Structure 1
């Protein structure tokens, strides 16, 4: 029998290949996000998620519209995750935004289209439309606030 000590390699020496692989994958992912433009898209969703006031006024106007209530019934409150069901596009200077978000009513669902500009600390809306998707027999665009175009 031998009484020699067994020297085990340290954690880093045993796992250096995995560390390098994870490091390379992480930086490849960061490069992909920044070079593909996906970072800007994620940033837009982040801004919209953080600024719930952007959707407050349009949703109040939609809920008080008689034609929308006639078709969809009572509109459900919009949760923070509803933003991910739509599309959002901020301008380069973050002063204007166009958004489409799904809204749900008792009798169906629709898409809410919003265009607005940030002026003197407030959103000024230039267009608010409701596009009825469901029930399918009623395909209609209801202008809540008409575009100035």
Structure 2
């Protein structure tokens, strides 16, 4: 029993310290934001539909492909106002090129109202271009 206690006590202490550092660093909030965005498929699906209806996007990178769940986890997501407002940036892939979508949305009832949807494109000639789909003041 003493041998087991020699290992269990240090492991418990290390886990407690790791938990404290994780929770006090703000990483728990990042994990919560990503989990919520991961679960809310409509947030990105509707934004991509709006972007795909813009001829400038179609001219630059063609139709943007549906976003997979790993893309959301690799992106940046910030919820605020009791999870009623979101700011997010994720990578998008078109048939002709790639870019990033920046969006700001507010939840109204059960749907998202978009205040900003921008598609940022960096082409092969190191030029950057931003296509504003929606940009409300």
Q: Residue in 1 aligned with 2:40?
A: 51
Unaligned runs of 5+ in 2: none
Q: Residue in 1 aligned with 2:24?
A: 35
Q: Please tell me the root mean square deviation across aligned C-alpha atoms, in Å.
A: 1.5
Contact 1:109/1:135 (8 A) holds in 2: no
Partners of 1:74 and 1:135 in 2: how far apart?
18
1:131 partner SS: strand
Contact 1:108/1:135 (8 A) holds in 2: no
Runs of 4+ in 1 over 3 A off after TM superposition: 134-138
1:107 partner SS: coil
1:64 to 53, 74, 78: 53
Partners of 1:15 and 1:83 in 2: how far apart?
42
Listed as ranges, the matches of 1:1-149 within 5 Å are 12-146=1-135, 148-149=136-137
Q: Between Structure 1 and Structure 2, whose CA radius of gyration is higher?
A: 1
What TM-score do the two structures reach when normalised by structure 2? 0.91
Partners of 1:134 and 1:110 in 2: how far apart?
9
Normalized per residue, which structure has more strand? 2
Contact 1:97/1:117 (8 A) holds in 2: yes
User: What are the Cα deviations for residues 63-101 of structure 1, in whole angstroms up to 9, with x where unaligned?
Assistant: 222111211123222101111222111114111110011
Q: Higher relative contact order by CA 8 Å / sep ≥ 6: 1 or 2?
A: 2
Unaligned runs of 5+ in 1: 1-11
